[in-house]
Amino acid sequence: MDLWFSETHETDLRMSCRVKQVLYHKKSKYQDVLVLDTLRFGRMLVLDGCVMTTERDEFVYHELIAHPALLACDNPKDVCVVGGGDGGTVREVLKHPSVERVVLAEIDQDVIDVCREFFPGHTTGLNDPRVEIQVGDGFEYLKQHPGDFDVILSDSTDPIGPGVVLFSAKYFDLAKSAMKQGGCFVTQAEGMWCRSHSAVSIRNELLNHFTNCEWYGAPIPTYPGGYWSFLIASDIIDFRESLDRNRQKLIEKTTKYYSAKLQAGLFSMPRFLLLEFENDLSH
């Protein structure tokens, strides 16, 4: 039997993976949840038809959403992960010895349960005593916790449908007020080939809320276009300067993608993308 899964991006791009077996497929209260066993990438979590994470390439995304922010921040203690029910981001955050508390604010309990069952490598951190799981709307959670966090990591789905709110001006306002002085915010910022215009507008919005904002990217073969991006923002931290090198040495021993050398060039984006920012600014 020749079974394939395809994610269709907008109307003109389809990326496919050969599937060994469908391991789980149900509608949760919020979305369609699918777990596949694929030949090339191992187990794959798909929400509403969009690939969220796979066993083989997940480390790129999870290391990069967490470590640049945690290392830029001096002595991060309280961290909030919004979304991220698969646990991968929490696992990376817990590697930082100064971290005392990680709140996982995930709306869909089913995603957490399914990932505990099918993605043990992602969810290793979820039983750590420093982790507090808050099942509910991340937006509401932040509203109720002003000034609580050193770092907020927005590990969300795409800015379409229910995901739109996690890229809105209102949300960035809330994230800012849920942060301590000198805190730092990261959001996944969509694909470079398919939605770089989205990164440009998310960055413009972030700059309405924070003084500093940097864009960085990484190859993630299972996401549309294969090249993904992140935005990191703060009022105080200069991300090109501020970095805890001792902690970086410790983290580097545990990572598969992130390294000190990679960090050195992290914010050097390819010219075709820089030009998009410049063109946008000149409009």
| Footprint on this chain of ligand AG3 (rule: CB under 6 A) | 7, 50-53, 61, 84, 86, 88-89, 155, 157-158, 188, 223-224
Q: Known catalytic residue: 155?
A: yes
Q: Of 53 and 196, which CB lies nearer to ligand AG3 in the complex structure? A: 53
132-to-29, 78, 106, 145, 155 alpha-carbon distances in Å: 22, 11, 11, 14, 16
Q: Of 230 and 237, which CB lies nearer to ligand AG3 in the complex structure? A: 230
Q: Sort strands 50-54 and 78-83 into parallel, antiparallel or unpaired.
A: unpaired
Structure tokens at 127: 């039983």
CB of 89 to ligand AG3, least distance (A): 6
Q: For residues 277 and 202, what is the distance between their CA atoms, to the nearest angstrom?
A: 11
| Chain residue whose CB lies nearest ligand AG3 | 50
CB of 104 to ligand AG3, least distance (A): 11
User: At CB < 8 A and 24+ separation, what contacts does 15-18 make?
Assistant: 15/51, 15/222, 15/224, 15/226, 17/41, 17/44, 17/222
Which residue in the block uniquely carries the two structure tokens 């290793």?
124
282: Cβ–Cβ under 8 A, 6 or more apart, which residues? none
CB of 31 to ligand AG3, least distance (A): 13
From 57, 150, 155, 158, the catalytic residue: 155
Give the CA radius of gyration of the chain. 18
Structure tokens at 207: 């700059």
Q: Of 33 and 237, which CB lies nearer to ligand AG3 in the complex structure? A: 33
CB of 146 to ligand AG3, least distance (A): 26
Q: Of 155 and 205, which CB lies nearer to ligand AG3 in the complex structure? A: 155
Active site residues: 155
